[in-house]
């Protein structure tokens, strides 16, 4: 007699169910850094096969409880129906949720707006509290948004904020385009998640602070001290070293840091840091100069190499990194800037002897063919990145993985600008650190990396959608 499904042991049936439900293959957090615009991992169809497997018979349905549900809340009416009609067992089964609800039209008068937003806030928090097993929450749009230029500004103090209504949420992403919402909602929700570990935020470009000075220091430390993964967005007009220092002071225990930079009121990506690398023929080591303000497009903009030692930006960057005591992965979108051709650097520093100069000139005189020159440029790039990585790794003893970037104006196939992302690993030895560089970079189209989170200080345009499912 052939073996049927019900002839299997309970453990094997549950094991089958585990692999049928593909939520188990999605990590926490499922969201990405601000530059990485991949499709959502939170997909309500993810549980389709598992639910079909449970419907096989009553025995399997009891053996495999409903769980790991993904929910996209895209209208206020849908949220109300879930709050009132959804069975408790279904609410408890929700593990991941995206809230993408268009803004509700409220009165323009400031006093009336204050009264109007309160029931929305308490309805939302009451509903989220009922999702007792919710682990991941992504905010895209929210009915709390009423931040028109002419509307009253609603601060957390207006809402008699509740605490700990997200006790099991370990992963929160605030991805709303409204600059005020991304600031206000971050402070409202993050304090309510006592198990918070992973955060994606875009603090206001006017302050780049997650909390206002009047906030309770004890409340801050209780939440942010547990965060291990941080995706932070900064803006072009700000000094990125200052921003990084703010991150180090606010989140001292993070293990994974991803810093992205965009233009204010625009989605355009720009590098937070440019690291200029040069190894003149009279030097045995690479020289570095970093910029953390504005955007520098050409290597020549870095100034004479002889004057690089007078710039302390890179030293300040390394000093700030010492504040991260547990950091394991670092990606600050550091763009590597290389000279056009190494043999063209003929500038001389005062300590160079004539004999050293003559030897360097003799090495540069042989004529380069194109392919040899290209190979030399690639080897120089690898050498510069490894040398820079060694300096950073020596500054952060816990670092395991880091990333460098390069902007390429034309792709050899698409003829469009793109970014290359180079990954390197730290191999810790008793006498130092060895850098292993992955020589096959990832490539991303420049326009694909745009991000609008928190960059608008006016009313963002809503899609012409009704408040239906």
Query: Confidence class of residue 223 from pLDDT cuts 50, 70 and 90?
Result: low
Q: Tens digits of per-residue pLDDT, 58-115?
A: 999 999 999 999 999 999 999 999 999 999 999 999 999 999 998 765 555 555 555 5
Average pLDDT over residues 237-252: 89
Residue 212 has pLDDT above 60, yes or no: no
Q: What whole-number distance in Å separates Cα of residue 411 and Cα of residue 426? A: 30
Q: Tens digits of per-residue pLDDT, 125-165?
A: 999 999 999 999 999 988 887 665 444 445 555 565 567 89
Q: Tens digits of per-residue pLDDT, 390-413?
A: 999 999 999 999 999 999 887 666
Q: What pLDDT score does 346 carry?
A: 47
Residue 433 has pLDDT above 50, yes or no: yes
Strands 442-445 and 418-429: antiparallel
Query: Confidence class of residue 448 from pLDDT cuts 50, 70 and 90?
Result: very high
Indicate the DSSP class of residue 152. Answer: P
Query: Confidence class of residue 452 from pLDDT cuts 50, 70 and 90?
Result: confident
Q: Mean pLDDT over all residues of the chain?
A: 82
Residue 322 has pLDDT above 60, yes or no: yes
329 strand-pairing partners: 256, 401
73 strand-pairing partners: 99
- Of 332, 146, 360, 374, the closest CA to residue 243 belongs to 332
* pTM score: 0.85
- The contacts found for 345-353 with CB under 8 angstroms, 24 or more apart, are 345/278, 345/280, 345/281, 345/305, 346/281, 347/280, 347/304, 347/305, 347/306, 348/282, 349/280, 349/282, 349/306, 352/282
Contact 183/454 with Cβ under 8 angstroms?
A: yes
Q: How far apart are the first and last CA of the chain?
A: 49
Indicate the DSSP class of residue 342. Answer: G
Percent of residues, the chain, with pLDDT higher than 70? 78
Residues 437, 321, 338: CA angle, nearest 5 degrees: 45
**What are the residue ranges spanned by the domains of the chain?**
19-227, 270-327+337-449
Q: What share of the chain is helix, strand, coil (3-state, %, to 5)?
A: 35, 20, 45
> What are φ and ψ of residue 95, in 5° steps?
-110, -35
Q: What pLDDT score does 150 carry?
A: 44
Query: Confidence class of residue 166 from pLDDT cuts 50, 70 and 90?
Result: very high
């Amino acid at each position: 007699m052939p073996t049927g499904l019900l002839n299997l042991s309970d453990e094997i049936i549950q094991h089958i169910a585990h692999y049928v439900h593909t939520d188990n293959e999605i990590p926490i957090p499922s969201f990405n850094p601000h530059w990485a615009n991949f499709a959502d991992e939170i997909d309500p169809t993810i549980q389709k096969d598992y639910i079909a497997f449970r419907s096989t018979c009553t025995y399997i349905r009891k053996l495999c409880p409903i769980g790991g549900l993904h929910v996209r809340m895209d209208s206020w009416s849908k949220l109300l129906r879930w709050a009132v009609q959804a069975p408790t067992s279904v609410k408890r089964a929700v593990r991941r949720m995206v809230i993408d609800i268009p803004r509700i039209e409220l009165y323009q008068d400031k006093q009336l707006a204050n009264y109007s937003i309160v029931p929305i806030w308490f309805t939302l928090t009451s509903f989220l509290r009922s999702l007792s097993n919710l682990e991941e929450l992504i905010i895209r749009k929210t009915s709390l948004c009423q931040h028109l230029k002419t509307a009253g500004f609603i601060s957390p103090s207006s809402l008699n904020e509740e605490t700990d209504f997200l006790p099991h949420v370990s992963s929160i992403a605030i991805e709303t385009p409204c600059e005020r919402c991304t600031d206000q909602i971050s402070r409202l929700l993050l304090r309510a998640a006592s198990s918070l570990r992973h955060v994606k935020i875009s603090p206001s470009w006017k302050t780049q602070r997650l909390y206002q000075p009047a906030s309770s220091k004890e409340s801050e430390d209780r939440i942010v001290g547990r965060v291990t993964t941080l995706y932070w967005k900064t803006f072009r007009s700000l000094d990125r070293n200052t921003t990084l220092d703010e991150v180090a002071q606010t989140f001292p225990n993070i293990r994974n840091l991803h810093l992205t930079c965009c233009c204010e009121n625009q989605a355009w990506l720009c590098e937070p840091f440019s690291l200029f690398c040069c190894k003149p023929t009279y030097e045995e080591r690479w020289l570095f100069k970093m910029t953390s303000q504005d955007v520098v497009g050409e290597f020549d903009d870095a100034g004479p190499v002889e004057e690089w030692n007078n710039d302390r930006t890179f030293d300040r960057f390394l000093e700030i990194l010492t504040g991260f005591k547990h950091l394991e992965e670092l990606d600050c979108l550091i763009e590597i800037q290389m000279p056009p051709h190494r043999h063209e650097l003929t500038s001389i520093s005062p300590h160079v002897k004539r004999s050293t100069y003559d030897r360097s000139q003799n090495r540069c005189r042989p004529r380069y063919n194109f392919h040899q020159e290209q190979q030399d440029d690639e080897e120089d790039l690898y050498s510069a990145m490894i040398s820079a990585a060694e300096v950073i790794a020596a500054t952060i003893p816990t670092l395991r993985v880091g990333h460098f970037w390069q902007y390429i104006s034309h792709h050899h196939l698409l003829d469009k600008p793109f970014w290359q992302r180079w990954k390197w690993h730290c191999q810790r030895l008793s006498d130092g650190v060895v850098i292993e560089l992955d020589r096959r970079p990832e490539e991303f189209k420049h326009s694909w990396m745009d991000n609008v989170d928190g960059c608008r200080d006016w009313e963002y345009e809503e899609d012409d959608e009704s408040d239906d499912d």
